[in-house]
Chain A
Amino acid sequence: MSYYKITMAAALAVLTSSFLIAGGGAIADSTKADKVDYTAMSSEQLAEYLIFDAKGFKLDDKTQEGKTVRDRLTQDGIQKACSALRGGSVDGATAGKVIAMAREAMTHPEGGIKLGDWKKGDTVARSGYGFRVGHKVDDHSGREPGGNCYACHELDPNEIAFGTLGPSLKGYGKLRGTNEIILKYTYEVIYNPHTYFPCTQMPRFGYHGTLTQEQISDVMAYLLDPDSPVNQ
């Protein structure tokens, strides 16, 4: 699969990536904001400074998962490693590191991976609602968040408004069947796609908890159930 291959100018790929020192404490004193010399920082340090110290965002806004925008903007290991590529193709060292981080954080549902209800999965696949914060805030108490699969993937061949950032998943189950290996693979790609596609653009729906285990099983049914429109 060419899922993580990038059509990016090669020139950008060779830009230095000193991201490891970004966010260092040296420039974190916000009380001296007006005396800070932007030109003395690396671009990575300055970017962190502009977000967290120079009032770039409403950092204390609450999020649906009970944290804050500050937490949303704080990068984890996979986000840091993949950002450093600046759109270039993933190199072997980064890929290995990212896959290792993904595997370490993988969890599987108790009682094994099972297919849920493809009709519910259809709803999850279509809905882009959820987890937005800022000038408008998604209210999860009034409406369940979705997975927004159609934003990037073709699924039901009767749905023509599908995105193309990800590969087509039309006939996903018909092509692959539903044995244990396919179930595990499909679950792990939805939970954390970096397990197989390091630095993919696809979100980690299980890792971040943006889809519940039940929703993941419903989406899996939408992909794999022979009765699902995806497989007609």
Chain B
Amino acid sequence: MSKKTSFVLSALLAFGASVSADSYQAPEDVLNGLISEVDSAYLTQSEQNIMMMPDNPAYWVAEEGESLFKAKRGPNKASLESCDFGNGPGVLEGAYVEMPRHFADSGKVMDLESRLVYCMETIQGFSSDDPAVKKRHGSGSDMMKLQTYIASQSSGYEWNPPMDHPLEKAMRDAGEVLFYRRAGTMDFSCRSCHGAAGKRIRASVLPNINVPQEWTKAVSWPAFRVGHDNVRSSQHRVRGCYWQMRQGQIIPGSDASIALISFWTDAARGQPAILPDMKR
């Protein structure tokens, strides 16, 4: 408990405790704010999860991520504090809600995961085969620890992925096509489950992309998946959806995956992020 409290405290001290559109807000406070705005069966479906959010196991994962972030690691014995996530080297506050974005150094639109991989390879010198880079899933992976730490510093910030570079717009627009693109033995697209309000698969209420207050929770990854007992990422969600749609395995960090994440982040624009979230 003390570890989590110190993380929250340091977060509050670092970002200031005032409540405005772009400052840190605890994830449970963000969620309760959204619930007071809209009548949503999706946002309110698990009272237990909302109650557990202040004790989200993802906080410990984030704390380990902070140590990893600051440690001199890899063949180059360098920390990630010189990695630019869009707002300058080492600046993490509000950085994640402005991703995916175009990076001049790589010439590509990158999501958080692909940006982390890029920095771990170029700054720290990890090879793409190193488990630190290659292992993408599970609370015990370096990837999830780092992603959870970085993303958590954007809780309460409004999603605002930049659309200034032509590639950012092109990827977002292609992602929209992918979102509505039906294929496979089940004829599904993302829209099959995420295009109507208050609908359920079995007992699970689904988020609707057309309700921004629902959609910000839907895209607020990393989140602790209670049913998985692990913190999960955006890329993990994308992989799981394509698996359930029977459309095969999307390749993590592929432009297809980043285009889809660009579109879904844009669809939550202006809504505050819930980071880390806790999901079913």
Determine if A47 is an interface residue (Cβ-Cβ < 8 Å).
Answer: yes
Are A165 and B192 CB-contacts (below 8 A) given A75-B181, A86-B176?
yes
For B236, give the chain A residue with the smallest CB separation. A135
Interface status of B12 (Cβ within 8 A of chain A) = no
Given contacts A61-B249, A75-B181, A165-B200, contact A43 B170 (CB under 8 A): yes
Q: Which residue of B lies closest to A45 (CB)?
A: B174
In the bound complex, do residue A163 and residue B200 qualify as a contact, i.e. CB atoms below 8 Å apart?
A: yes
Instruction: Map CB proximity to A onto B119-158 as digits: 1 under 8 Å, 0 otherwise.
Output: 0000000000000000000000000000000000000000
- Bound-state Cα–Cα, A206 to B46, Å: 37
Partner of B189, one of A61, A83, A209: A83
CA distance A214 to B249 in the complex (A): 30
Residue of A at shortest CB range from B190? Answer: A87
Cα–Cα, bound, A72→B248 (Å): 8
Q: Which residues of A contact B242 (CB under 8 A)?
A: 57, 134
Given contacts A73-B248, A163-B200, A165-B192, contact A9 B254 (CB under 8 A): no
Kindly supply a per-residue 1/0 record for chain A positions 1-43, scoring 1 wherever the CB is within 8 Å of any chain B CB and 0 otherwise.
Answer: 0000011110000000000001000000000000000110101
Q: Is the contact region of chain A dominated by helix, strand, or loop, or is it mixed? A: loop
Q: Is B256 an interface residue (CB 8 A)?
A: yes
Q: Chain B: how many interface residues by the 8 Å CB criterion? A: 50
A181 at the binding interface (Cβ < 8 Å): no
Cross-chain contact A161 with B185 (CB below 8 angstroms) = no
Report whether B167 and A38 are in contact in the complex, using a CB–CB cutoff of 8 Å. Answer: yes
B259 within 8 A of A: yes
> Distance (Å) between the CB of B164 and the closest chain A CB?
13
Chain B residues near A75 (CB-CB < 8 A): 181-183
A7 touches B248 (CB 8 A): no
With A56-B254, A152-B201: A43-B248 Cβ-Cβ less than 8 Å = no
Q: Given the interface contacts A39-B166, A69-B249, A135-B249, does A57 sit within 8 Å of B201 by beta carbon?
A: no
- Contact residues in A for B249 (Cβ distance below 8 Å): 57-58, 61, 69, 133-135
User: Which residue from chain A places its CB closest to the CB of B253 in the assembled complex?
Assistant: A55
Q: Is A143 located at the chain interface by the 8 A CB criterion?
A: no
The residue in chain A whose Cβ has the minimal distance to the Cβ of B256 is A56
Kindly supply a per-residue 1/0 record for chain B positions 59-96, scoring 1 wherever the CB is within 8 Å of any chain A CB and 0 otherwise. Answer: 00000000000000000000000000000000000000
Q: Indicate whether A182 reaches chain B with its CB closer than 8 angstroms.
A: no
The reply to whether A55 and B254 form a contact with Cβ atoms under 8 Å apart is yes
- B3 near A: Cβ within 8 Å? no
A83 to B191: give the CA distance in the assembly, Å: 10
Q: What 1/0 flags go to A138-169 for Cβ under 8 Å of B?
A: 00000000000011100000001111110000
Instruction: Report Cα–Cα, A65/B186, bound state, in Å.
Output: 13
List of A residues within 8 angstroms of B196 by Cβ: 6-7, 165
Closest to A192 in B: B187
Tell me the smallest distance from the CB of A217 to a CB of chain B, in Å.
20
Residues of A within 8 Å of B188, CB to CB, are 201, 203
Does A101 lie at the interface of the complex (its beta carbon under 8 Å from any beta carbon of B)? no
- Inter-chain CA distance A73–B201, complex, in Å, is 23
Q: Ordered nearest first, which 5 A-B pairs have the shortest CB separation?
A: A56-B256, A69-B248, A134-B249, A43-B173, A47-B177
With A63-B248, A133-B249, A209-B185 given, name 4 new contacts (CB 8 A): A46-B259, A50-B174, A50-B254, A201-B187
User: B residues near A, CB below 8 A?
Assistant: 166-167, 169-171, 173-178, 180-189, 191-193, 195-203, 206, 210, 239, 242-244, 246-251, 254-257, 259
